[in-house]
């Protein structure tokens, strides 16, 4: 199974188009989007080619390929124009016997873990900074993964996404 994870498009038609192209080049079975699809948010500058209506068109054209969770910038108004569900606060997948708790990151994150157990994985976006690290907890440890941001990376990270294949998560640059 090959999956692709990406976050924080923030209305950039340029990066949404690149993401779509990379998804088809990767030949993944599903693109999991970790929120903040259309709106850039009050704390972010406008991303390159900010055009939410174009992003709507790009993503709606991929609706059968997508699994999404809600970001802090995603609203019910956004859901009205998108042909696939985006308002779930989280999703849980099981990969190689481990629970992967998928969320945007504004509620559950390394500082506020969801109800997971030793050896499970927390995957979120929100920070715009890619990560792959182990977090020690009172019950053991969890792996924390963040694919970074497609359109507005921060802290010197690149425009990135993550691929899961053959039991391995790999961070990749969009460009």
Domain that holds residue 115: 2-173
Domain count, the chain: 1
Q: What is the pLDDT along the chain (175 residues), one digit of tens a residue?
A: 999 999 999 999 999 999 999 999 999 999 999 999 999 888 888 999 999 999 999 999 999 999 999 999 999 999 999 999 999 999 999 999 999 999 999 999 999 999 999 999 999 999 999 999 999 999 999 999 999 999 999 999 999 999 999 999 999 999 8
Q: How far apart are CA 81 and CA 166, in angstroms?
A: 35
Instruction: Say how far apart CA 69 and CA 158 lie, in whole Å.
Output: 22
Could you tell me if 146 and 125 are in contact, meaning their C-beta atoms sit under 8 angstroms apart?
Answer: yes
CATH of the domain at 109: 3.60.21.10
């Amino acid at each position: 199974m090959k999956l692709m994870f990406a976050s924080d498009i923030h209305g950039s038609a340029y990066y949404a188009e690149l993401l779509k192209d990379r998804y088809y080049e990767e030949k993944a079975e599903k693109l999991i989007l970790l929120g903040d699809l259309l709106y850039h948010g009050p704390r972010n500058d406008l991303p390159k080619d900010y055009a939410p209506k174009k992003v709507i068109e790009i993503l709606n054209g991929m609706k059968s390929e997508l699994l999404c969770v809600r970001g802090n910038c995603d609203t019910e108004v956004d859901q009205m124009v998108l042909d696939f569900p985006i308002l779930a606060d989280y999703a849980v997948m099981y990969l190689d016997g481990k629970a992967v708790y998928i969320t945007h990151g504004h509620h559950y994150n390394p500082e506020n873990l969801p109800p997971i157990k030793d050896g499970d994985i927390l995957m979120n976006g929100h920070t715009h900074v890619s990560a792959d690290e182990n977090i020690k907890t009172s019950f053991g440890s969890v792996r924390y993964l963040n694919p970074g941001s497609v359109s507005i990376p921060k802290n010197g990270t690149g425009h990135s996404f993550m691929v899961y294949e053959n039991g391995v998560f790999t961070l990749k640059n969009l460009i």
